[in-house]
Each structure stands twice: as structure tokens, then as C-alpha cells.
Structure 1
Amino acid sequence: MKQTLFCMLLLAACLSYGQSKQVITDEDRFNKYITSHISYFTFNGQRPTGKGWDNLDELFAKNQFVAWGEYHNSPLLSQLTAYALESAQKHGYKKWCIEVGPYTALELTRISRTKSPADTLTKLYKNGYPHIGTFPFFSSPEDAQMLIAANKLHFNIWGIDQEFQMSFPYFLAKVYQTQQRKFQYRYKALYDSLQAKWWYPDTKLLDSMANAITQTQYKALLKEINTSKEIYHTGDNSGRAALMKANFFKYYDAGAKNEKVFFKMGSNHLAKGINLQTNLYDIGNAVYELAQRNQSGFTNVYLMVRYTIEKGKLTDDMLSKENENPKAFSKLYDIDKWVLIDLRQLKMKYDNTLPRDTYQLIEKYDYVLVSPEKLSIANNEN
């Protein structure tokens, strides 16, 4: 009888303990993890300072590939990138991969070597498509700081994307104006027809121009325009992703073995696994797998802003019903500091106590960097 009573009391105690023991949810785990894996730095356009920047700098020392998945058209981020190039160069990086086409990369390289890259970019912006310019993502004096840094530090610029539609008139003019006057007179009607529908130049006309010229690089440029305009016309995200990978490996295979590369592209393109917008295996995943093959390292950083200003109106992404970034990270915003969160050791049970977009970001990125800025929005490519 005493033994039975003892067993019943022991069982009751165990049940009571089990009921009183708190279940740790993913939300609890996330909030606790953040407190010990968050760091900060300040940056006012001069040199960044703080533990957070030291952690970002260290990524270049430990990895073959470092990828900044950016938000576009931020002058402040362009200034920060100029210092990132300096950090990368100190650790043996010589290649800078950006979200432009191969021929735009050549033009940006040329501009970086001119007396005043800022004046050139400003002029190209004013003469280009309204609010976007000639070369998206490269239009301001702050963008010129990146080019100046790349030139000073002897970086090669890799452009792996399509040639953007806004640059078509610029490149068509470049091809035509470099020809002899006799050629220009003979083919003026052809050139005018191409420029008349610059956003979608006719394939037969592009081929006619390519057949008429002799320079190999310009033949290839016209072919690139044709490929790019079809991607625009069909909205073919898979074709764009395939083009990025093909262009990247063309650069990579021609370079030194295990070349170190710093990426600065839209965050959508640099995710591990399937990306967040188009559900494709994009360039980020391809480079991640290349690093595994090389037994080197790949680290990607998701950069985000909480506040944007458009037409004078301030928008808080955290309060938006169609928020662009996970609210779990927006709430970490600091008005004075950049906030860096290291996600690499965070493990989830997937109990749905966190929103789906938070789980996705944890799966696909190693770090999140929250900017303190209020970003002015124009018309951004992605």
C-alpha cells in the first residue's frame, strides 16, 4: 500500500512539473538568441566604427565570397560600400561583382579612371531615363565614390546581369558614333529606326547593324542588347538568372584559381537556395555551392531599411500590411546605428510562432544588416 501511494505521489509530481515547465517556442528562442548575437556600428559618411563593422570586415578574411544583398539607390550605402571595398582589398579581394551588364561594367571601369567620375555619372543621369538615368544604381556622386575606390584599389568590375533597358540608347549611339562618317551616312536610317524604339529594338535591325560593323566587341554588345530586350519583353526571370550565372562563370573561369569576389547586388539574387521573390536558384545559390566545392567560404548579408520617403511621405515598413522586410528584424532598428545580426547559429523548430518571412530569411542569409537611414525612393530596378 505504501509503495502504491509513493508511486502515485511520484507520478503526480512529474505531471505537475511537466505542466509547469515552460515550452520554449521559436519566437522565444529567436528573441533570446538575438540578445547575444547582435552588434552595432556608426557611420556618418566617414569611416565606420564599432564592433558590427569589425564583424563585417572579418568576413572578408574568412571567406572566398562575400555577398551584400542590398536595397538599391542609397547614397549612404554607396559610401559604406567604398569602405567595404577597402576592407576586401586588404584581405586579397580583387574582383567586385555588381548588378549590371558586362558592357556597363566596362563603361563604369572607364568612368572610374576619368578626372571626375561624379560629374560623368551626374551627366549620364540627367541625360538618361527620368529618375533612373543611363545606368541604374550608378548615378550619384556617392556612387562615384565606389568607382573611385575600385579604381584606386585596383579592382576588376564584373558585370553579370543583363544590359539594362535604360542603357540601350547610350550603347546604340556608342556603336554608331564610333564608325567612320561614310558608314554613319549609309546606315543613318537603320540607326534612327533602332533608336526610335530603343526600349525594344527590332532583332532584324540589330542583326543588320551587327553584320555591317567589323568590331568584334560591338557585335557582341548588339547581341547582348538583343538578349536583354527579350528578357524584358517576356519577363523571363529564369532566363535572367541563367544569364547571371553564365556571365559570372565566364569571368570566374578566366581568372586565377579560387579568385576572391565581393558581391553587391539586390538581396533577392544572393539568397542561398531558392530566392525570396522569383522562386529560382539564382546566382547567390550558385556561388554558395561553388564555395562548397572549393571548400572555401561564402557568406551573405541581407541589407534592409525600415523607413522610406516617397513624394515627401514617410513610410514605416514595420507598420505596412505589405511589408517588404520581416517585422522581427525591423523592430531592431536604431535611429543612430547600423544593426548587425549574426544568424549562422540560430536553429529553429518551425513551430509557426514566427512569421514565414522571418523563417525564410533565417534559412537563406547568414547576417541581417539594418540601416538607420530613411531612404528616399525614386523608381528602382531590382
Structure 2
Amino acid sequence: MKSLITLGTIVLLLFFSCKEKPVDTVAAKAEKISPTPVIDASYIATKTAYFTVADTAIVGEGRAILERIISKSQFVMFGERHGSKATSQLITKLIPMLHEAGFNHTAFEVGPYSAKKLVTLTTPPSATVKNLKQFITQYALEEDHQIPIPFFDGLEDAYFLQAIRERNMNIWGLDQEYYSSTLFFMDELLTFVTDTPDYAIIKSEKEQASKIIASWYTKDNVPGAEIKLFEEIQKEPAVQQYLNRFRGNENTKKIIKDLEISWDIYTRWREDSHADRISYMRNNFLTHYNKALQAESNPKVFLKFGNLHASKILTNGCYDLGDLVTQLAKERGGKATIINTWHRFYTNEKGEELDYLEKYASYYKRLRDFMSLAKRDQWTIIDLETIRSDIREGRIRLPVNGDYHKMKSLIDGYDYQLILPIDKRVTPNKN
């Protein structure tokens, strides 16, 4: 009995001891530590600035960020939304700032020979709008988007191209030649043989080849047509006869080679040509860059491509141009700045205003804390570099739910996020 009383006394003492002095468990310690806040719109707002593009200049607190980007970068990679009027208006204002900071080179999502043609069409610069209008009108096919050189079919595009040429900045074409450029190339090849005795015969062969090519484009434009367009074109004896005229010419054999590379990429686009396309662009960039190094110790390049190509992390199974310029900058002790762009508010061809946060809710719902900061009448610029640094230093953390993946891809893939003000397609520059 005495033993039982003693045991009971001990249990009571332990009970009251625990009540008066709680055990310092791991859970209790965790409660005492303030958790790192999760990234949200209120935090992102502290890394956000705004600006407007006026007739004469970029205005607002965001301008200082753009100036800092340009002054500190060897490469500025602009990941655009294709066909955007607001984007081309912004680029027109950025060109003088870039040139003043030592950027002598621009690179675009066009083919190597198309870039040379753009130089011709912008000589003199004052004739840019007129020459592009005539060129686009001449080679436009049955559908409005079928143009000979992509992303330069708008009036606003012509203005920024003119600004580039007025400053004698170089134009690099890195991509394959465009899907609907073939008829333009047939005519271009003919210009290399105008002084030959067989010119009349070659011109007749060109006209026959072009007629056949145009007929295949017409078949390809039929809804539901499942044609491997360029395989069919290359099977035509008249086309091969004409192309063979130029394969041995030093001035034209590379044009033929680039054209056939482009046809092959388009023919295999549903299969595995994407990696070949990206490698082609990377190699073309390096060719231009290494040539520029012969004249400059630190060539600065402005690149304007679709935003998929701008990311510096793996996208669509490839390390694209954003990765290339990032690595090049690191090797040379410089800096590449990668800019991504989104639309929030957009006016379609019917005049309807769309809110992409609603229209594409399934995509943007996991990025809503960024997209919600957009304004209809101003450009929004979000500093992803600083956010990335805050995450690395433990000042903020990504969510643990499904939003984590898209947020991380955005923050790791780009350095700044631009959200456009209300936008529309470029003004067509053709008759």
C-alpha cells in the first residue's frame, strides 16, 4: 500500500510540474519562429514599377529600370508577344537608348537572307515605310498572315526598323526563312544573273517554277489540307531545274542551302525539327557574334524574339537563345538581361476588349499574383531578379501548392516581366 501511495504522489508531482513548465518540444520551437512569408501580390507590388510610352519618350518611374537594364547589360533579350502594336511602339523608343549605350547590333526572328533584304528595304532609312509596304503587298498570299518576312508587316514595325537603320545598327537574322517566303526567294535569285547571256531563259524558268510554287501554296491554304508543302515543291522538276542554276554560284549557294534547311524544318515540325531549329538559331547567333568580336571587344546585342525563345531555362525540350546569351555573358564577365512580356488587356479585330486573366484563366490562374498588377493605361515592369534574390536569401518563399511550378519557371527563366497596357495588332502596312 505504501508503494502505491508513493507512486501516485510521483505521478501527481510530474503532472503539476508539466503544467507549470511546458516541455520545450520541436513543435513549440516552431511556433516561436516566424515562418518565411509566401510570395503574393502585395509582395510582388513592392518589386513593380510603371511607365507610359509617350509620343517623344518613355515616361514614369519604370524608365529608370529600363535605363539601368540597358546600361548594365551586354545582351538585352526581349521576349515579345508577336504582332503587338504596343511592343513595336516601345521598341521604337528603346532603340535610341540602346544605341546611346553602345548597342550596335540587333537580332530578329527572321532568316539570314531576309535580314539582308530588310537592310535593302531600309536604304535610305527614310524610305522604310514605303519600301516595306510595296514589298509586303507584292508577296502577300491568300491569307493576311501569309507574308514574306514575319514580324515586319505592321506600320509600327516599320517605324522601329527605321530607327535602327537611322543609327546604322546591324541586323542579324537567326531563324529559318519564313514559310511563305519562297516566291520572294525565286525572284531574289534571279537578281544575281541579270548580266548573264542566259538571263531570258533563266527568267522563263523562274516564272514557270513560281507558277507551280504558287499553285502548291493555294492547295496548302485549303482548310483541312494535309500537304507536306515543301516536299511537294521540291519534287517538281521545274523548281529543281531553276534552283540548280544557282547551286554552284558563290553568291547564291548559301541562299539555296539556307532555304532548304528552312523547308526541312517546316516539313518536320510535327516530328522533331524544333531542336534543329533552335540549334540553327544558336549557331547563326554565334557566327554573327564572333564576326562582331573582330571589330569590337565587347559587342552589345539587342534581341527581339517570341518569349519562348527568350527563356534561359529549358523550354519545349531545348535550351534556347536566352540560355545562349546568358552563358556567353557569364563567360565574358558581362550580363544578359532577359525580359518576358504578357498581355492583360487586348482589343481584338472585332473591337472587343478582352481580359486575358479571364479569357485564359486556366493558364494565368497560377500567375495571377503577377498578372493582377497590370494596368490598362500603363506598362507594368516587375523585377524578377530581385525576387529571385529574395528567395535565395530566404526573405520570401514560393508556395508549396501547384502554383510553385509556374512561378518558379517564370522567376528562373526571366529577369523582368513586362505586362503591356491595352493593346491591339499592328496596323497593316500593305495595300
How does the TM-score come out when normalised to structure 2?
0.78
1:333 and 2:374 correspond: yes
In 2, Cα distance between the equivalents of 1:221 and 1:152?
A: 27
The secondary structure found in structure 2 opposite 1:202 is helix
Residue 122 (structure 1) aligns with: 133
In 1, Cα distance between the equivalents of 2:349 and 2:176?
A: 30
In 2, Cα distance between the equivalents of 1:228 and 1:155?
A: 26
Residue 317 (structure 1) aligns with: 356
Root-mean-square deviation over aligned CA pairs: 2.9
Change (3 A) 1:53 1:16: same
Q: Greater CA deviation, 310-319 or 98-107?
A: 310-319
Change (3 A) 1:363 1:95: same
TM superposition shift of 1:357: 2.1
Change (3 A) 1:134 1:152: same
Residue 184 (structure 1) aligns with: 203
In 2, Cα distance between the equivalents of 1:35 and 1:147?
A: 34
1:67 and 2:106 correspond: no
Change (3 A) 1:377 1:183: closer
Residue 273 (structure 1) aligns with: 313
Residue 107 (structure 1) aligns with: 117
TM superposition shift of 1:50: 1.5
Change (3 A) 1:323 1:188: same
1:253 and 2:302 correspond: no
TM superposition shift of 1:234: 0.8
TM superposition shift of 1:62: 0.7
TM superposition shift of 1:292: 1.2
TM superposition shift of 1:181: 2.1
The secondary structure found in structure 1 opposite 2:304 is strand
1:222 and 2:256 correspond: yes
TM superposition shift of 1:172: 1.4
In 2, Cα distance between the equivalents of 1:195 and 1:134?
A: 13
Q: Structure 2 unaligned runs (5+)? A: 1-12, 194-198, 218-228, 392-396
Change (3 A) 1:377 1:79: closer
Q: In structure 2, give the amino acid aligned to 1:372.
A: P
1:283 and 2:321 correspond: yes
Q: In structure 1, give the amino acid aligned to 2:386.
A: Q
In 2, Cα distance between the equivalents of 1:8 and 1:164?
A: 79
TM superposition shift of 1:306: 1.0
In 1, Cα distance between the equivalents of 2:426 and 2:118?
A: 23
The 8 Å contact of residues 41 and 370 in structure 2, kept in 1 or not, is answered as no
The secondary structure found in structure 1 opposite 2:53 is coil
Select which of 47, 65, 71 maps to 1:55.
65
Select which of 116, 122, 131 maps to 2:144.
131
Q: Structure 1 unaligned runs (5+)? A: none
The 8 Å contact of residues 117 and 144 in structure 1, kept in 2 or not, is answered as yes
TM superposition shift of 1:195: 4.5
1:91 and 2:131 correspond: no
How does the TM-score come out when normalised to structure 1?
0.88
Q: Greater CA deviation, 369-378 or 34-43?
A: 369-378
In 2, Cα distance between the equivalents of 1:216 and 1:68?
A: 35
The secondary structure found in structure 1 opposite 2:343 is strand
For residues 210-247 of structure 1, what are the alpha-carbon distances to aligned partners after superposition, in whole Å with 9 as ceiling and x for unaligned?
Answer: 43136433222122111111111110211110110111
Q: In structure 1, give the amino acid aligned to 2:57.
A: R
In 1, Cα distance between the equivalents of 2:118 and 2:319?
A: 28
Q: Greater CA deviation, 289-298 or 169-178?
A: 169-178
The secondary structure found in structure 2 opposite 1:118 is helix
In 1, Cα distance between the equivalents of 2:69 and 2:400?
A: 31
**Structure index of larger Rg:** 2
Change (3 A) 1:203 1:45: farther
In 1, Cα distance between the equivalents of 2:277 and 2:356?
A: 28
Matches within 5 A, 1:2-81: 5=17, 8-11=20-23, 18-19=30-31, 23-26=35-38, 29-81=39-91
In 2, Cα distance between the equivalents of 1:217 and 1:283?
A: 28
Residue 182 (structure 2) aligns with: 168
In 2, Cα distance between the equivalents of 1:140 and 1:74?
A: 9
The 8 Å contact of residues 267 and 302 in structure 1, kept in 2 or not, is answered as yes
Residue 209 (structure 1) aligns with: 242
TM superposition shift of 1:327: 2.6
In 2, Cα distance between the equivalents of 1:7 and 1:218?
A: 91
Change (3 A) 1:330 1:192: same
